[in-house]
Amino acid sequence: MRFSGVSAIVFACMAMAGCSSSSGLGDLLAQARPPSKETTSSVARPNSPVPEATIPSVAANDEPPQRTEPQEVLAWAGPVPQAPVPQMTTVGMPIPAEKPLAMLAPSRPMARATPGQRSRIYSRQFRDAKPINFGRGSPKALAVHGVDVSRWQGDIDWAKLRTQGANFAYIKATDGGDHLDPMFRANWRGAQEAGLKRGAYHFFYWCRTAGEQADWFIRNVPREPNALPPVIDVEYNGESSCKRRLSPEKIREKMQVFMDKLERHYGQRPIIYTAPDFYRDNLQGAFLNYPFWLRAVAEHPSKVYPGRRWVFWQYSGSGLSHGVEGKIDLNVFHGTEDQWHDWADARSS
């Protein structure tokens, strides 16, 4: 094919732009892979308006220059401690076997917040807009169900949601190094008032340093004795302004820095939440001493993540329930009701 003069100039400019890119062939191939459709509700798109909150764009460098604090102080749990937490015993969370077995107790279990009393477990009353037949491995066979929420669920009637079977809730707190979910405060308090066990999760942003992100989470999420372990949410997100695809080694390195800092502060080993494609590319065979929360909405986790032990299973992203408008993520604990109480009580002080 012959090119006109204008076409030749345009073609030459495009070629020069491609050559100036700093991405290697591996990065280009990685970026070509479409992101997973199995994303958590933190990146879902709602059907109704919600409070606006966006993550400012940052430089593409892995270690961006020092940033000044935003004028609006979003933190509500006090400043980041500058000294190590004194004499705090770190308790790594036990990981159940593939079949629910008695949970291993910590070597020095912490006392319950209310000795002799255990919260009521409500049976699962959720519906599903896209029900899946999991066969003999159905999550319905497990006793303790819960939800995870973010700003996209809007105002939640927590008392009503609990009676529908939400015995625990993981609540979106932060992502990146400067974004606080605008509904976190309300959800954190509402879940506690309704009697749910609750924990906070952080959506990891690959264009910010791990230390910055850990400090931001610590600044915004209270260290409370009855809270569930913190969660690091690692997955591919096509909606994010950060399009970087790091090597598996770099991803695991950044995760380790973040998790170590949270474990020192909260005294509990963080839980790793992930989706199938991200796990396949980066986490197979890694972090064997860490608890996992696995997303598997079409098949049982044993088929999607062969050989990986897990504590929580996110089995639906299309749950329906009284107490919340629209869809909500549904989860289940890997164990019996008694095992749930033992596990949760061991995390109280």
pLDDT at residue 37, as a whole number: 46
Q: Is residue 24 part of a domain?
A: no
Query: Based on the structure, what is the number of domains in the chain?
Result: 1
Beta bridge partners of 125: none
Q: Is residue 25 part of a domain?
A: no
State the residue range of the domain holding 312: 41-51+75-345
- 99-113: per-residue pLDDT in tens? 443 333 333 333 334
Q: Is residue 129 part of a domain?
A: yes
Contact (Cβ atoms closer than 8 angstroms) between residue 290 and residue 240 = no
Point out the catalytic residue in the list 38, 235, 249, 325: 235
Q: Is residue 68 part of a domain?
A: no
pLDDT at residue 40, as a whole number: 52
Q: Is residue 59 part of a domain?
A: no
Residues of the chain with pLDDT under 70: 1-116, 348-349
What is the DSSP code string of 141-195? GSS-EEEEE-GGG-S--HHHHHHTT--EEEEEEEETTTEE-TTHHHHHHHHHHTT
Q: Is residue 140 part of a domain?
A: yes
pLDDT at residue 238, as a whole number: 81
Q: Is residue 17 part of a domain?
A: no
pLDDT at residue 239, as a whole number: 81
Active site residue 249: no
Q: Is residue 271 part of a domain?
A: yes
Domain of 270: which CATH number?
A: 3.20.20.80
